[in-house]
Structure 1
Amino acid sequence: MTGREERVARAALTRIGEPGDEAMNRWLDRYGAVETLKAFGSDSPLPGASRTRWAGLRQRARGLDPEADLAAIGALGGRFVCPDDTEWPSQLDDLGDGRPVGLWVRGRASLRMWALRSVAVVGSRACTDYGAHMAATLGSSLASRGWTVVSGAAYGVDGAAHSGALAVEGATVAVLACGVDMAYPPGNGELIRRIGEQGLLVAELPPGDHPTRSRFVLRNRVIAALTRGTVVVEAELRSGSLVTARRALGLGRLTMGVPGPVTSGLSAGVHQLLRGEGIVVTDAAEIVELVGAIGELAPERRGPMVPRDLLSPEAARVLEALPARGALGIEAVARAAALAEDRALVRLQELRSLGFLERIGDRWQLARSANQHTNR
């Protein structure tokens, strides 16, 4: 687990470097976050930085308040996740020197757990009705099968995929090119708000940071690395979605495409992808057959993933030990869950942090939302 000083330093570094800054990651590997941050107080550049670039980075390093950023994400019910944290998705390490310095995460679920069974659905912002229909259908069908739908919350295919997952109360993650407190694009503000409440918002950039063209491109590498596979639904020959798909290919991930009319320029990029290493898919069952475990040739239909599905067995037992009404003390909870009191207390605190429980003095009871999850 990352120490407090290291965490604060990494939070500060997300304001200094741009996403995917390979030199920054090499400095982190060599010196650690604390010493790297201190180095910006000197005129002498660290290895690999020109004096011009170093001056620009030092300019950004002035007047930083990472504690305020950490407080801001906490006020939103979020956190800053570092590479050594248990919530860190280890598949992001496949990006090598281009991996994120850290991730600002908003939402209750565990990013690592949701990413274990995740698929990216990306495509054109100016999609056709066909593209929007296919993206929404894939989003809802994948989520219904217990898969997390990952996209970028943009107009068009991205928004339709997220909306499809939300419609069945499934798991969905939006990887943003701005701070998780920002609604971009503005027209998807309501959608982004719902994802923050029901799913996860993820960003490399700290609260308040705005998107730029380059940040959208860099964001795509996180989508590609985070997921088991990427599905492209409608993309022109020059499309950011194809950048995501090619990055996924380079990382050894499965890359899939939904074919469209051969006369449609919006499907030309997908068809080019399918002429190479991309695989044709037409529905969620075919996607799961490719990215799922052995035996998932004809995936069994299941209900949407809910937060309690991601709990550890111990935490689930503790949650089940609490009655639908009333509160219990630690001794009663430990006895019902067949755990030592110290282990039961750890799980109770974990469940409270996730919003399942409330503490009333020395007794514990289900939160209202936990009652809703229990009844499903």
Structure 2
Amino acid sequence: MTGIDLSPATARAALASVAHADEADSAIVERYATVVWSHLVEPGDSVAGRLVAARGAAGALDSVFGGGTVADVTAQELAAARRRWMPRLNPRAVTDTLRIAQVRAVSLITRADPDWPDQLEDLGAHAPMCLWVRGETSALRLLRPSVAIVGARAATRYGDHVAMELAAELAGSGVPVVSGGAYGIDGAAHRAALSVGGLTVALLAGGAERAYPAGHSGLIDEVAASGVVVSEVPCGSAPTKWRFLQRNRLIAAISDATVVVEAGWRSGSLNTAGHAAALSRELGAVPGPITSAASAGSHRLLREYGAHCITSAQDVREMLGLVRGGSEQGVRGPRTDDATRVQDALSTTLWRDPVDVARRAGMAPDEVEALLGLLHLEGAVVRAATGWRLVSGHER
């Protein structure tokens, strides 16, 4: 393969600061190949996603740059992909990224790691190759459930107030708050979550080692100190319009619900809402004054997308299915009830079979099937040919 050495020795030396020393050679090579792919592609490249899913990161690189045809994509797709990937095949760029990651304490998370958020797999071929993370990577396992709070950069005083109220109450009760680190609603949501000691996650469109906008450097550092700052593009990457739009799909995918607090008619937050709807995630919107252009997009979501009308944190909890029979369920406390474990493994929007539920709950399939039957009698879950799901708050 041209330009990149995928030998175990080279991979192990390059990844010395972001890999486990006891990893097998094959795992180290695969991890290094994943870093290479993160340089070759722009976020959401489905051709690369299909190749890596079929052959693994290292195998896909060998197939693509070793010449010849590749069965997993058409000849036209492969030819076009090679033209856009080849100019980026730069070993020096890979080395620079890993050096920056070491200096700025940025971790590399791949699908092989236990901290990888499985909900991103709902993006299919458009899922990220890897994640670059500042902060405690294990926090990525605490995002079920979680809520994305997004909205206008040029937020009004009303929008800021509502975002802070929602984020503070939700984060304070144990529901992680996800947003994009931008001015306006994003910043208000992050600050409020931090103020109550809650978990908040910022997904960036540029490299995880630097804040964008620069005026939020202090805020992003605070998020990294107590939560996590995440990017799918390598360290050193600049944010672009395309990367902002693709970043929005990660915000929607990593969260169980998206709430748009305030958005104009053409707000970028509607892009995040569109991804949430496409992924069958719960979608909510906060109504505003009918005379306010800053709320025109929120009203559009309520009217055209059937978004839940959000007027309080309690509305968000109901949307997430955290309110059952008039009482709230603990979110972050210790779980000892097996029925609760099964409910935690279910979704209000996605149908899951008992084997998948058992895997997510860490239980035996026969135990899960028995508990699903009991929960069905209680009206907490529903069954269809495609599997089981939770009954959401508005269905009760």
Change (3 A) 1:311 1:84: farther
Alignment of 1:218-367 (within 5 A): 218-275=246-303, 276-293=305-322, 295=324, 297-299=326-328
How far did 1:52 drift?
4.7
- What is the match of residue 318 of structure 1? none
TM-score under structure 2 length normalisation = 0.72
**CA distance, structure 1, for counterparts of residue 80 and residue 116 of structure 2:** 33
Q: Which segment drifts farther, 119-128 or 40-49?
A: 40-49
Aligned partner of residue 262 in structure 1, secondary structure: coil
- What is the match of residue 80 of structure 1? 108
Amino acid at match of 1:73: A
Amino acid at match of 1:246: G
**CA distance, structure 1, for counterparts of residue 126 and residue 228 of structure 2:** 22
**CA distance, structure 2, for counterparts of residue 15 and residue 146 of structure 1:** 36
Matched-pair contact (CA < 8 Å) for 1:254–1:291 = yes
Change (3 A) 1:265 1:181: same
- What is the match of residue 31 of structure 1? 55
- What is the match of residue 197 of structure 1? 225
Aligned partner of residue 148 in structure 2, secondary structure: strand
How far did 1:260 drift?
0.4
- What is the match of residue 131 of structure 1? 159
- What is the match of residue 4 of structure 1? 28
How far did 1:62 drift?
2.4
How far did 1:294 drift?
5.0
Asked if 1:148 corresponds to 2:176, the answer is yes
Change (3 A) 1:109 1:59: closer
How far did 1:65 drift?
5.1
Change (3 A) 1:259 1:112: same
**CA distance, structure 2, for counterparts of residue 86 and residue 95 of structure 1:** 19
Change (3 A) 1:130 1:296: farther
**CA distance, structure 1, for counterparts of residue 295 and residue 325 of structure 2:** 29
1:161 to 177, 189, 195: 189
Aligned partner of residue 133 in structure 1, secondary structure: helix
Q: How many residues align?
A: 307
Q: Which segment drifts farther, 82-91 or 68-77?
A: 68-77
What stretches of structure 1 of length at least 5 have no aligned partner?
313-376
**CA distance, structure 1, for counterparts of residue 29 and residue 334 of structure 2:** 30
Change (3 A) 1:111 1:267: same
Matched-pair contact (CA < 8 Å) for 1:14–1:205 = yes
Q: Which segment drifts farther, 70-79 or 282-291?
A: 70-79
TM-score under structure 1 length normalisation = 0.76
Aligned partner of residue 149 in structure 2, secondary structure: strand
**CA distance, structure 2, for counterparts of residue 102 and residue 116 of structure 1:** 20
Matched-pair contact (CA < 8 Å) for 1:88–1:111 = no
**CA distance, structure 1, for counterparts of residue 215 and residue 97 of structure 2:** 26
Q: CA RMSD in A?
A: 2.5
Aligned partner of residue 91 in structure 2, secondary structure: coil
Asked if 1:175 corresponds to 2:203, the answer is yes
Q: Give me the identity figure in percent.
A: 39
How far did 1:299 drift?
3.5
Amino acid at match of 1:290: M
Change (3 A) 1:195 1:45: farther
Aligned partner of residue 147 in structure 2, secondary structure: strand
How far did 1:168 drift?
0.9
Amino acid at match of 1:28: V
**CA distance, structure 1, for counterparts of residue 262 and residue 45 of structure 2:** 30
Amino acid at match of 2:31: R
Matched-pair contact (CA < 8 Å) for 2:106–2:208 = no
How far did 1:50 drift?
5.2
**CA distance, structure 1, for counterparts of residue 311 and residue 209 of structure 2:** 35
How far did 1:73 drift?
2.5
What stretches of structure 2 of length at least 5 have no aligned partner?
1-22, 337-396
How far did 1:70 drift?
3.7
Change (3 A) 1:85 1:56: same
Alignment of 1:109-120 (within 5 A): 109-120=137-148
Q: Which segment drifts farther, 188-197 or 79-88?
A: 79-88
Asked if 1:16 corresponds to 2:44, the answer is no
How far did 1:187 drift?
1.2
How far did 1:293 drift?
3.2
- What is the match of residue 117 of structure 2? 89
**CA distance, structure 2, for counterparts of residue 311 and residue 199 of structure 1:** 22
